[in-house]
Amino acid sequence: RGNCDVCSGQCCDQPKNTNVRISLPAVCCIWQIAMIILFGIFIRYNEESDAHWIDHKTSNNISSNIENDFYFRYPSFQDVHVMIFVGFGFLMTFLKRYSFGAIGFNFLIAGFGLQWALLMQGWFHSLDPMDGKIKIGVESMINADFCVASCLIAYGAVLGKVSPVQLMVMTLFGVTLYAVEEYIILSLIHARDAGGSMVIHTFGAYYGLSISWMLYRPNLDQSKHRIGSVYHSDVFAMIGTLFLWMFWPSFNSAIADHGDGQHRAAINTYLSLAATVLTTIAISSLSQKTGKLDMVHIQNATLAGGVAVGTAAEFMLMPYGSLIVGFCCGIISTLGYIYITPFMEKYLKIHDTCGIHNLHAMPGVIGGIVGAITAAAASEEVYGKEGLINTFDFMKEWKYMVPTRQGGHQAAGLCVALCFGIGGGIIVGCILRLPIWGDAPDNSCFDDEVYWELPEDEENNPPTVEYNNHMRNKAV
Amino acid sequence: RGNCDVCSGQCCDQPKNTNVRISLPAVCCIWQIAMIILFGIFIRYNEESDAHWIDHKTSNNISSNIENDFYFRYPSFQDVHVMIFVGFGFLMTFLKRYSFGAIGFNFLIAGFGLQWALLMQGWFHSLDPMDGKIKIGVESMINADFCVASCLIAYGAVLGKVSPVQLMVMTLFGVTLYAVEEYIILSLIHARDAGGSMVIHTFGAYYGLSISWMLYRPNLDQSKHRIGSVYHSDVFAMIGTLFLWMFWPSFNSAIADHGDGQHRAAINTYLSLAATVLTTIAISSLSQKTGKLDMVHIQNATLAGGVAVGTAAEFMLMPYGSLIVGFCCGIISTLGYIYITPFMEKYLKIHDTCGIHNLHAMPGVIGGIVGAITAAAASEEVYGKEGLINTFDFMKEWKYMVPTRQGGHQAAGLCVALCFGIGGGIIVGCILRLPIWGDAPDNSCFDDEVYWELPEDEENNPPTVEYNNHMRNKAV
Amino acid sequence: RGNCDVCSGQCCDQPKNTNVRISLPAVCCIWQIAMIILFGIFIRYNEESDAHWIDHKTSNNISSNIENDFYFRYPSFQDVHVMIFVGFGFLMTFLKRYSFGAIGFNFLIAGFGLQWALLMQGWFHSLDPMDGKIKIGVESMINADFCVASCLIAYGAVLGKVSPVQLMVMTLFGVTLYAVEEYIILSLIHARDAGGSMVIHTFGAYYGLSISWMLYRPNLDQSKHRIGSVYHSDVFAMIGTLFLWMFWPSFNSAIADHGDGQHRAAINTYLSLAATVLTTIAISSLSQKTGKLDMVHIQNATLAGGVAVGTAAEFMLMPYGSLIVGFCCGIISTLGYIYITPFMEKYLKIHDTCGIHNLHAMPGVIGGIVGAITAAAASEEVYGKEGLINTFDFMKEWKYMVPTRQGGHQAAGLCVALCFGIGGGIIVGCILRLPIWGDAPDNSCFDDEVYWELPEDEENNPPTVEYNNHMRNKAV
């Protein structure tokens, strides 16, 4: 009857050990010490955050402090930061008894991931050839947050089914793969991807789905009764949804070009997301016999438009183009929740707790395709001569690049993201199958009880008769 | 006896059909497609978000990308955006069983409204005479959010009593009326209203109250037991309150003049709101026999100072002037909740779920009056010659305007806002009375059950007969 | 057995009167009127928020509106504002029945405190010698919020044990002491403290702890059963934690120097906080027999890194230096929750509801020491000649200052903060012991019932036996 308290210990074939008292502290401490050492060796302030800025300013004829990159990007950085910690964290609180795990492990992944990302991305992107140091500034922090986002997306697929130690391992490899993949896509292939439809969402989603596939739990229906939400947990999840939704324009514009690039990226994302809300609600209502709306769709599918407009946000997608992208993604993503997620679980043996396939994987791929088409269709007429060069960065070794070929490079970038996501996920999934990570048995998934000291509250341990008598006596 | 599960179907005279499975998806999809077409025809990027910005910069001698309007207004825009979606959304979650509707329909209204607002406001304000296109940028996005705010205020009056389809209709007309009214007030009459005391709050509140009056439900007490809050829902509502309160300085300064205008508007709002908190708490405590505070007041009346300082925020209201405005509004608004709301419901047949009359209508009118007085009292001594011209925009066809006459124009603007609010609300209310919109019967108001798939949680459906008996027996 | 409703009136020796119906409104109204009068006499806009800005710009050769300080600091101000109201407010909602008091009284303290802070800080720091007026701008608002932060920290120690009137008194004196202490530390001693490790955190924490010591309640275990959290209240508290955590880089950089100063402060804080997350989780897991995590640690100790890096954030602490600070503080703060808080309560008779000793006091002192060391170790090689002068403000009367001596001044600043905190707290604690403030008896602490009208909700008046049987039967 799904009543797990009775049968636990009997029906579970593998008695798993979820005690992480040694492994979790060890991983956290050792890796953190490693970070300190590596930061000591490699990481320094860049010229805009170093105390020599005042000299740099003079020697580069910069007239005012306001032209420090900090003032171009810091507000967007803070918005992105909110998306990472509150957005992703609260979006995953929808499960009735896994809110601590959702927020807490999200916090852990992000806290570790951003440090490792600064190093990995630094080695590939901002290694100063003069002194062999990585120079960081506000843009590095945004990029580190972006990198972490891909790992948090992956976490969405395995939410409630893995241990914090597994999550640390997943993040370590995820960030590493991300940095390589990003280097190939952005630097070698010279694809543009300001909002990360390919680099972040496609990669992150397929990475997570592949891991979930490798970690498939055949007896997960023993924890089925804990997969749903309760009224309040759905409201908590809306905090995550809304902060993601609202700040997505900052996400897509955070590392776009100064000036019109950031401006346009914000507008496009704003519009795309607005359209997604309407079609999500339309399809959600249509899918129920009595036209009732489903919170799962509102919480997730409304965000698909932001994902899908990521690559093309800084291009001249045009306002109506953004609306069309948002329109389609709201429909596709909601239909995904209705049809594809159950299909994947049943036939492909991929259990996707948060439905990241609908929210990140499909819209990410769509975003890559939209980006390729928009790039291929770019013309001097629309962008202006200078504008075209600036937007697509047709400079230095790429100065003979043309838009149509750029479209091909964009498509190539999408393929790389897919390969890294799927390939990397399978390999990391194998590693995570080792029986040493302290993950929960199939009948204790989606339960904070396993890794958290829980408060003894009314809802939790259904009061015994004596307790009730006490309570009743003092009632008011 | 208020137990609606037993008598539903018996005591309801009009068996209403709340199935919106056809109407809601139809409205969402068709209107969204209309948006796409209209955006395709009319809307383009403005020169600061277009890829030609680089040429524009050169030809206008703009020295740096940082002078793109994006950097002046984007942080404020994001704050306003949070107010619209999290602020208004969560403020309305206070009802014990209407949190999904509060957040979800708020999301729907805003998602649709901002698109329609871009078009309507564009036609009136930013139609490029050269090519007949509307040029949008960050200021357009802020204005669209502002416009949506007026519809969300109106939603506050009818919260829990209307269907999502009705809300879409209400938004369609609300945005239209807003754009016309705003054009008359700001462009024709040349009133100033940076924070929208008149244009947004007065209009929105009277629009909503008139609709609520037209939709008066004589048997609403059948849903009375669902009008209250529970402990957690009050905490959720405080999320909304606080984000509105904190970001109100950004709201009032978002479209003020660059430089001192934005700076001053933020300071005035900050101070006014601080004073409101103290008088709200004072009156709330005074109103209860034992001096206990009422969450309803804290959640709402603390915001009245921000509304009332909207028009005058960019003027030289002086710091103490802001405090006085906040002081008075905290008192008036709290007294409104204690005396006026029950009065209006009983004698005027206006049921105002969120008390928008106290939070937006009265403070909005006060704000209009304060604005008129402050404008009329403006002098070159206080503002400086240039400052006066800049602050009140005494340029072009208005260059012979004087402060005293400006005061008159401000007052005229307030009247226009009132007329549009009340008149428009009555007309739209008539339309919404048609029995085709799928609204809930009187005994199912304030209940998410009607339009949402609810999780089966403990709090939700234990209600077996025995449980209900107990609840009734022990109900304090 | 902790059942307080039965014995109340019997076991409490002093039957306390918690009716604040006269005192609270009186204090709020009178003090607010005093604020209006004082603002009328003293406070004016500064030249960047005054309508004469346009003249000021011309006469000072300022080329663009974007160089108004508003655009350098307003985004950070809003982040700090969120920390004050949502961050501190929600962090304290963890108690199962004191969420209203946590958020509501936080709101009250901050609303009053920021006004008084503008005056007090103005008299000491920004009194214009020409006309005897205080000139305020965006930096004044940030400083006022900072000042309020110290009072909110102090509130954390006495949360649930004092009346709102006591809190107002505590804030009045707290702000006053803060302004004096800040003036001594920053202006007379010329210590640097951008993020306020000493000025805000050390002072605020010891101020609160001393008050809590003076107000020690020997029979507080009568309210022991209300000190814990429930599942949802812990999630609410995480909202506070995360907004504090995310925006801490803005806090530490808000009033740092334009350009590299703000940029560097943000980076250092970002890194320090990331490291703290990992060590907090490590120690939390290590401290439990089965390696489970404790929400109290995650909610609080993860923030210690931000406190401890406050003073040194704008210095060339280096990225690895920030990580080391964060690493240590996560460990110390978590150990503090495990060992020191119970010790202090048992042996020192200091009850510290939120554990501010671990979150603010110890990390604040560490921050002061780190700042002193970093300052003493500063060299022209690392900072550059101009950079050194700028960062440490070695100008005017301090132009012959050298880094090593600056280190000594930093240490002196820390001592002043400690003295003011402890001394001031003891004096104010004496005042608060007067039996006129309407505080709750020992058996009604941590209960919103005392000062708030509570909704009659299901969770509140708990389940009966029959209901439980039902629940257990259907528990699936």
Give pLDDT tens digits for A403-428: 999 999 999 999 999 999 999 999 99
Ordered alpha helix ranges (H), C126-230: 138-158, 164-182, 203-214
**Mutation for testing the B interface, residue in A320, A327, A458 having most B CBs under 10 Å:** A320
Q: Which long-range contacts (CB under 8 A, 24 or more apart) does A467-472 make?
A: A468/C462, A468/C463, A468/C464, A468/C465, A468/C468, A470/C1, A470/C3, A471/C462, A472/C462, A472/C464
Looking at residue C192, what is its pLDDT?
Answer: 95
Model confidence at C278: pLDDT above 60:
yes
Looking at residue C342, what is its pLDDT?
Answer: 95
Could you give the CA distance from residue C169 to residue C24 in angstroms, rounded to a whole number?
Answer: 11
User: Which chain A residues contact residue B455 at CB under 8 A?
Assistant: 96, 228-231, 233-234, 295
Q: Do C51 and B290 touch (CB under 8 A)?
A: no
Looking at residue B461, what is its pLDDT?
Answer: 43
Neighbouring chains to C with at least 3 Cβ pairs closer than 8 Å: A, B
In chain A, what are the domain boundaries?
Answer: 36-49+70-447
Give pLDDT tens digits for A32-70: 999 999 999 999 999 999 999 999 999 999 989 999 999
- Cβ burial B295-313 (10 Å sphere, 16+ → b, else e): bbbbbbbbbbbbbbbbbbb
Nearest chain C residue (CA) to B386: C54
Give pLDDT tens digits for A352-364: 999 999 999 999 9
How does residue B469 score in pLDDT terms, banded at 50, 70 and 90?
very low
How does the average pLDDT of chain A come out, rounded?
91
How does residue B38 score in pLDDT terms, banded at 50, 70 and 90?
very high
Looking at residue B314, what is its pLDDT?
Answer: 94
Comparing A402-416, C8-22, C262-276, the range with the smallest average pLDDT is C8-22
**Mutation for testing the A interface, residue in C238, C247, C288, C461 having most A CBs under 10 Å:** C238
Looking at residue B16, what is its pLDDT?
Answer: 80
Could you give the CA distance from residue B455 to residue B235 in angstroms, rounded to a whole number?
Answer: 21
Looking at residue B463, what is its pLDDT?
Answer: 39
Please report the DSSP string for A377-414 in residue order.
T--HHHH-HHHHHHHHT--GGGTT--HHHHHHHHHHHH
Q: Measured between CA atoms, how close is B451 to chain C, in angstroms?
A: 23
Q: Do C111 and B277 touch (CB under 8 A)?
A: yes
What Å distances lie between residue C339 and A42, A84, B416, CA to CA? Answer: 37, 32, 66
Give pLDDT tens digits for A275-299: 999 999 999 999 998 899 999 999 9
Q: Do B289 and C21 touch (CB under 8 A)?
A: yes
Give pLDDT tens digits for B77-95: 999 999 999 999 999 999 9
Q: List CB contacts of B268: < 8 A, sequence separation 6 or more.
A: B252, B309, B312, B313, B314, B317, B319, B321, B322
Model confidence at B282: pLDDT above 50:
yes
Could you give the CA distance from residue A400 to residue C451 in angstroms, rounded to a whole number?
Answer: 72
- What six digits make up the tokens of C462? 């708990």
Average pLDDT (C84-99) is 96
End-to-end CA distance of chain C: 33
**Mutation for testing the A interface, residue in C323, C381, C470 having most A CBs under 10 Å:** C323
Q: Is C434 helix (H, G, I), strand (E, B) or coil?
A: coil
Could you give the CA distance from residue C473 to residue A99 in angstroms, rounded to a whole number?
Answer: 25
Average pLDDT (C359-364) is 97
User: Which chain B residues contact residue A259 at CB under 8 A?
Assistant: 48, 53-54, 57, 65, 68, 70
Q: List CB contacts of A458: < 8 A, sequence separation 6 or more.
A: C230, C459, C462, C463
Please count the residues of chain A.
Answer: 476
Q: Measured between CA atoms, how close is C298 to chain A, in angstroms?
A: 7
- Does residue B197 come out as left (phi exceeding 0), alpha (psi in the -120 to 50 range) or beta? alpha
Looking at residue C178, what is its pLDDT?
Answer: 97
- Does residue C2 come out as left (phi exceeding 0), alpha (psi in the -120 to 50 range) or beta? left
Give pLDDT tens digits for B127-173: 888 999 999 999 999 999 999 999 999 999 999 999 999 999 999 99
Ordered alpha helix ranges (H), B159-313: 164-182, 203-214, 231-253, 260-286, 295-300, 304-308
Model confidence at C471: pLDDT above 90:
no
Model confidence at A302: pLDDT above 80:
yes
CATH number of C36-49+70-447: 1.10.3430.10
Pairing of strands A134-136, A43-45: parallel
Q: Do C455 and B228 touch (CB under 8 A)?
A: yes
Whole-number percent of chain C with pLDDT over 90: 87
- With 0-12 / 13-18 / 19 or more C-beta atoms within 10 angstroms meaning exposed / middle / buried, residue A15 is exposed
**Mutation for testing the A interface, residue in C241, C281, C335 having most A CBs under 10 Å:** C281
Looking at residue C16, what is its pLDDT?
Answer: 80
Could you give the CA distance from residue C423 to residue C404 in angstroms, rounded to a whole number?
Answer: 29
- What six digits make up the tokens of C286? 């290590």
Looking at residue C126, what is its pLDDT?
Answer: 84
Model confidence at A470: pLDDT above 80:
no
Model confidence at B474: pLDDT above 60:
no
Give pLDDT tens digits for C282-336: 999 999 988 999 999 999 999 999 999 999 999 999 999 999 999 999 999 999 9
Give pLDDT tens digits for A106-155: 999 999 999 999 999 999 988 888 999 999 999 999 999 999 999 999 99
How does the average pLDDT of chain B come out, rounded?
91
Residue of C460, C231, C468 whose CA lies nearest to B474 = C460
Model confidence at B6: pLDDT above 50:
no
Average pLDDT (C109-114) is 97
Neighbouring chains to B with at least 3 Cβ pairs closer than 8 Å: A, C
What pTM, to 2 d.p., does this model score? 0.94
Looking at residue A14, what is its pLDDT?
Answer: 52
Average pLDDT (B459-468) is 40
Please report the DSSP string for B393-450 in residue order.
T--GGGTT--HHHHHHHHHHHHHHHHHHHHHHHHHHHHHHTSTTS-PPPGGGTT-GGG
Check: CB of residue A46 under 8 Å from CB of residue C297. no
Looking at residue C17, what is its pLDDT?
Answer: 86
Could you give the CA distance from residue C102 to residue C439 in angstroms, rounded to a whole number?
Answer: 15
Count CB pairs under 8 A between chains A and C: 272
Average pLDDT (C204-218) is 96
Give pLDDT tens digits for B322-373: 999 999 999 999 999 999 999 999 999 999 999 999 999 999 999 999 999 9
DSSP character at residue B127: B
Could you give the CA distance from residue A51 to residue B475 in angstroms, rounded to a whole number?
Answer: 66
Residue B136 backbone phi and psi in degrees, to 5: -110, 150
At A273, the amino acid letter reads L
Q: Which of B44, B78, B137 sits opposite A79 (nearest CB)?
A: B78
Residue C341 backbone phi and psi in degrees, to 5: -60, -50
Model confidence at A341: pLDDT above 60:
yes
Distance of CA A167 to the CA centre of its chain: 14
Residue of A400, A299, A279, A425 whose CA lies nearest to A354 = A299
β-sheet bridge partners, residue A134: A43, A127
User: Which chain B residues contact residue C55 at CB under 8 A?
Assistant: 384, 386-387
Average pLDDT (A147-176) is 96
- With 0-12 / 13-18 / 19 or more C-beta atoms within 10 angstroms meaning exposed / middle / buried, residue A382 is middle
At C459, the amino acid letter reads E
Q: List CB contacts of A59: < 8 A, sequence separation 6 or more.
A: none
Residue of A193, A168, A76 whose CA lies nearest to A438 = A168
Nearest chain B residue (CA) to A233: B455
What Å distances lie between residue B142 and A236, A270, B84, B256, CA to CA? Answer: 27, 11, 11, 11
Q: Is A38 helix (H, G, I), strand (E, B) or coil?
A: helix
Rounded to whole angstroms, the maximal C-alpha distance in chain B is 79
End-to-end CA distance of chain B: 16
Please count the residues of chain B.
Answer: 476
Could you give the CA distance from residue C336 to residue B159 in angstroms, rounded to a whole number?
Answer: 47
- With 0-12 / 13-18 / 19 or more C-beta atoms within 10 angstroms meaning exposed / middle / buried, residue A132 is exposed
Comparing B45-49, B464-468, C448-452, the range with the smallest average pLDDT is B464-468
Could you give the CA distance from residue C303 to residue C87 in angstroms, rounded to a whole number?
Answer: 11
Give pLDDT tens digits for C148-192: 999 999 999 999 999 999 999 999 999 999 999 999 999 999 999
Rg (CA), chain A: 23
Looking at residue C15, what is its pLDDT?
Answer: 67
Whole-number percent of chain B with pLDDT over 70: 93
Q: Which of A294, A295, A384 sits opposite B52 (nearest CB)?
A: A384
Average pLDDT (C83-97) is 96
Residue of B377, B121, B89 whose CA lies nearest to B242 = B89
Residue B416 backbone phi and psi in degrees, to 5: -60, -45
